[in-house]
Amino acid sequence: MATSTVPDYRLDGFAAATAEVERDFFHTTLSEDSFVPLAAHHTADDRDSYLLFFDRSATWGIPGSPAYVALHLTRDAELGTFRFSQETHPLVPLGQRWLIEQGCPPEGIGLTNTHGLQPADPLTTLLENRLRTGPEARLEVLDHYTDDEVTWALLRDTDPDSAELPFRVFLEEVSFQGNTYTVREGAFATADAADDWLSDRDTPLPLAPAPALTRAETAVARSSRAPARPAVPPNPVTTPRPAASAEARTGRGRS
């Protein structure tokens, strides 16, 4: 299991630019002793830092809350001040994607800590790469849920090629025995259809069809179909959450 260290904010000698920034930064880092550093990039001029953490304290929050914290710090050396922006995310590549959108070079936000977990197959790596570096305007996160057995994110794909099945579920399942995880992409015509599947997951995930995948990717997908429901113990890097109802698993935060 990974252990937390003091986050490397690189703020020695810097003060918050405003009282509001100071207050918000205090609340954002209130549980920093539970932050497990996963990735970090600091620009050569020390103006910007891009940080990704796993927040172990999220397991004690509202059931389903995302556990990854992405943080972008900007320093003004002349004034000796800093500002920041941050978002929480249910999946690592979504956190990396946000940091890239903030200006981090894609090659700068590679993981230095993986919780000891590795992708189970090439399709998992492929889908994570697509989530991490796909066109900025193409994917819109509508909903998500995190627990110890499975994490999912519901997205809308605005690519014209996905018009018939624009609602995509990215499903992450962790194998405790193998210290591996899989990611799969499901495709649905409506958000309600995706919600219906997520409410019980008693049928296989309808995988995204071509042309969402290239020919090579489609071949990998066909050989890597995952079971509809994980048959493994909870993710070893988290503490068990309270069980959630079917209503809590779907529709949270989406109108």
For residue 14, pLDDT beyond 90: yes
Least confident of 24-38, 86-100, 195-209, 210-224: 210-224
pLDDT at 116: 74
Cβ atoms of 93 and 151 closer than 8 Å: no
**Is residue 215 packed enough to be buried (19+ CB in 10 Å), middle (13-18) or exposed (0-12)?**
exposed
pLDDT at 229: 31
Cβ atoms of 70 and 98 closer than 8 Å: yes
How far apart CA 34 and CA 53 sit, in angstroms, is 9
CB neighbours of 254 closer than 8 A, spacing ≥ 6?
Answer: 142, 143, 154, 191
Structure tokens at 155: 């997205």
Domain chopping of the chain, boundaries: 1-115, 117-255
pTM above threshold 0.85: no
Whether the ω angle into residue 240 lies within 30 degrees of 0, i.e. cis, is: no
pLDDT at 217: 54
Long-range CB pairs of 29-34, under 8 A, 24+ apart, other chains included: 31/55, 31/57, 32/6, 32/7, 33/4, 34/4
pLDDT at 213: 53
Q: What is the pLDDT of residues 56-94, one digit of tens each?
A: 988 888 899 999 999 999 999 999 999 999 999 999 999
